Amino acid sequence: MRYLSLNHLVILLLLVSCGSYPRNNDLTETEIAAKKILNPYFSDPSKDYVYKGGITLQKKEFGGLFIVKKLGPDRHRVVFTTEMGNKILDFSFNGDRFIVNYLLEEMDKKILVNILKRDFKVLITEDFPVLRTFRKNNQEIFETENDKKKYYYLYRNGQLGKIIRTSGKKEKTEYLFSGVHDNTAKRIGISHKDIPLHINLFHINLKEIK
Amino acid sequence: MRNLIYPLFLFFLCSNAQTKMDIAEANSLKNMVKKQATATTTLSADFVQTKHLDFLSDDIITKGKLAFKAPDWVKWEYVDPFRYRILFKDGTMYVDDSGNKSQMDMGGNKLFEQLNQLIINSVKGDMFQEKEFDITYYKKGDDSEVHFEPKNKNLVKYIKAFHLIFNPEGEVIQVKMIEPSGDYTLIAFSNRTVNKTLPDAVFIP
C-alpha cells in the first residue's frame, strides 16, 4: 500500500509539474483557422538575405554577417562570416539533409552545431501543419510539432512576430521578428532560456550602397 | 560572322591575359615592392571590399577606410552599409561594433596572429617569403599580379591563395583572399596616402 501511495504521489507531482504551455499562459483555444503555419522570412529565392549580427556564446562573441539564400524548394544555404570576410560557418539544408560545408575549429562542438542547426532550421522552414489554434491579446497562436517538441507561432495582424519552442510547459527558445517590410524582418533575435546562447541579427539593405 | 568573332575573341583574351614574369622581372618587382614597404611608415586609403559567395545572386559590397602605422598598427574602419572598426595593435585585436566594444589577445590564437601578420604584409605588399608561400609572378598590362599560396597546413584550411595586384610604382592596389571553396574576399584600395603624419589618436581603441 505504501508502495502504491508513493507511485501515486509521483504521478500526481508529474501531472502538476508538466502542465502545458497554453494552459500556463492562459491561451484560449479556438477553431483551427489555417491548415499550415507560414513563415515568409527566408522564402524568396530571388533575394540574398544578408544580416549584420552576432552570436554570443557564454562570454564569447562572434560578430559578422549572417547570409541566407533559398536555392530551391526546401533547400537553403546559411553562412556566417566575419566582417572581414572570413567564414565562421557554412551550412546547407537540403530537405532533411544537413551538410556542414565549413566550420571554424573553435565552434566545432557537436552540441553547439546541433543547436545552431535547429535554430537556423526554424528560421528557414516555411510551413508546418497546424495542430491547434489559440488566441490571446489580439494574437493568433498556432501550435505545431517538430522533433517531438511543441512550437508556438505568434501572429499579430497576420504577421509572424514570434516563435516559441517549448518543452512541456516551459519556453526553451524564443525567435523574435520585427520591423517587417516586404516579407523581410529588419531584426531577428534568437534567445535560449536554458543555455547562454543569443543570436541578434539586423538586416542590411545592400542595394542602397550600389 | 565567324571570321569576325574569332579576332574579337582573341583580342578579348589578350587584353585580359596575364603572362608569367621571367626571373629578372620578378626580382625587379620584388625589390621595388620591398623598397616601397620598407619606406612606408604610414598609410591611409579608402577600400571597397567585395565578398563573393558562389551561391549568392550579388556580391556583398562594403566600404571603409584603412590606416596603417609602422611597424604593426592597422585599423580597418567600415562605414558603409554598417559601422564597424577593427584595430590590430600591440598583439591585441580591438573591435568597435557600432559602439559595442570588445578586445581579444591574439597571443592565444595563432590563426589570428598569422592572419594579422598577413594583413599587415599584404597592405604593405611585402609578402615575398618563399618559406611561407609558393609564389608566382604575372604581368597584367602595366600592373603586376602576384599569387601567394600558403604552405602552412593550418593556414591552407582557411585560405587557398592571396592574389595581390601592384601598380607600376610597386604599391599594392588590390588584395584577393581565396578560400579553399573558391569563394573569395577582394579588397580594392583607392586614394592611397603614404607617409603623411597619422596621429596616434587614430589608433586609440
Pick the closest to residue A192 from A101, A112, A83 (CA basis).
A112
Give dist(CA A202, CA A97) in Å, integer.
28
B78 vs A contacts (CB less than 8 Å): 83
Which residues neighbour A105 within 8 Å (Cβ) at sequence distance 6 or greater?
Answer: none
Q: CB distance A209–B61 less than 8 Å?
A: yes
Q: What is the pLDDT of residue B109?
A: 58
pLDDT at A138 over 80: yes
Pick the closest to residue B60 from B184, B202, B200 (CA basis).
B184
Give dist(CA B132, CA B116) in Å, integer.
15
Q: Judge whether A31 lies within some domain.
A: yes
Q: Which candidate from A50, A102, A208 shows the least CB-CB separation from B60?
A: A50
* A83 vs B: CB within 8 A: yes
Which ipTM did the prediction report? Answer: 0.83
Residue B71's alpha-carbon distances to B40, B41, B74, B162, in angstroms, are 9, 7, 9, 22
Per-residue pLDDT of A152-200, as tens digits, reads 999 999 899 999 999 988 999 999 999 999 999 999 999 999 999 999 9
State in Å, rounded, how far the first CA of chain B is from the last one.
62
Q: Judge whether B181 lies within some domain.
A: yes
pLDDT at A208 over 80: no
Cell 558562389 -> residue: B54
Cell 587614430 -> residue: B202
B181 min Cα distance to partner chain A (Å): 9
Q: CB distance B62–A208 less than 8 Å?
A: no
* CB-CB neighbours of A210 under 10 Å: 7
Give dist(CA B22, CA B151) in Å, integer.
23
Rounded to two decimals, the pTM is 0.85
Give dist(CA A20, CA A169) in Å, integer.
4
Cell 603624419 -> residue: B197
B161, B147 contact by CB (below 8 A): yes
Q: Which candidate from A67, A202, A208 shows the least CB-CB separation from B53?
A: A67
A82, A63 contact by CB (below 8 A): yes
Give dist(CA B183, CA B78) in Å, integer.
21
Backbone angles phi, psi at B203, to 5 degrees: -105, 25
Give dist(CA A68, CA A43) in Å, integer.
10
Q: CB distance A208–B81 less than 8 Å?
A: yes
* CB-CB neighbours of B28 under 10 Å: 15
Q: CB distance A79–B81 less than 8 Å?
A: no
Q: CB distance B84–A204 less than 8 Å?
A: no
Least confident piece of the model among A60-64, A67-71, B9-13, B28-32: B9-13
Q: Judge whether B103 lies within some domain.
A: yes
Q: Judge whether B120 lies within some domain.
A: yes
- Give the pLDDT band (50/70/90) at residue A13: very low
Determine the Cα angle at A197 with ends A153 and A188, to 5°: 45
Total structural domains within chain B: 1
Q: Judge whether B13 lies within some domain.
A: no
Pick the closest to residue A134 from A19, A14, A20 (CA basis).
A20
Higher pLDDT, A147 or A34: A147
Domain of A101?
19-209
DSSP per-residue codes, A87-107:
EEEEEEEETTEEEEEEE-GGG
pLDDT at A8 over 60: no
Pick the closest to residue B125 from B194, B65, B60, B62 (CA basis).
B194
Q: CB distance B76–A81 less than 8 Å?
A: no
Q: Judge whether A147 lies within some domain.
A: yes
DSSP per-residue codes, A11-66:
HHHHHHHH--HHHHTTPEEE----SEEE--TT--TT-EEEEEEEEEETTEEEEEEE
pLDDT at A5 over 80: no
Which residues neighbour A139 within 8 Å (Cβ) at sequence distance 6 or greater?
Answer: A154, A155, A156, A161
Average pLDDT taken over every residue of chain A:
87
Q: What is the pLDDT of residue B6?
A: 52
Q: What is the pLDDT of residue B5?
A: 53
Q: CB distance A86–B115 less than 8 Å?
A: yes
Q: What is the pLDDT of residue A12?
A: 45
Q: Judge whether B7 lies within some domain.
A: no
Q: What is the pLDDT of residue A30?
A: 83
Domain of B153?
18-193
Which residues neighbour A61 within 8 Å (Cβ) at sequence distance 6 or greater?
Answer: A54, A55, B102
CATH number at residue A108: 2.50.20
Which residues neighbour B79 within 8 Å (Cβ) at sequence distance 6 or greater?
Answer: B63, B64, B65
B55 vs A contacts (CB less than 8 Å): 69, 71, 77
Q: Which candidate from B86, B102, B183 shows the least CB-CB separation from A84?
A: B86
* DSSP-derived pairing of the beta strands B172-178 and B161-166: antiparallel
For chain B, list residues with pLDDT below 70. 1-17, 105-116, 119, 125
A45 cis-preceded (ω within 30 degrees of 0): no
Q: Judge whether B91 lies within some domain.
A: yes
Q: Judge whether A14 lies within some domain.
A: no
B7 cis-preceded (ω within 30 degrees of 0): no
Q: Judge whether B132 lies within some domain.
A: yes
CATH number at residue B162: 2.50.20.10
Total structural domains within chain A: 1
> B interface toward A at CB cutoff 8 Å?
49, 51, 53, 55-58, 60-63, 76, 78, 80-82, 84, 86, 95, 97, 102, 115, 158, 177, 179, 181, 183, 185
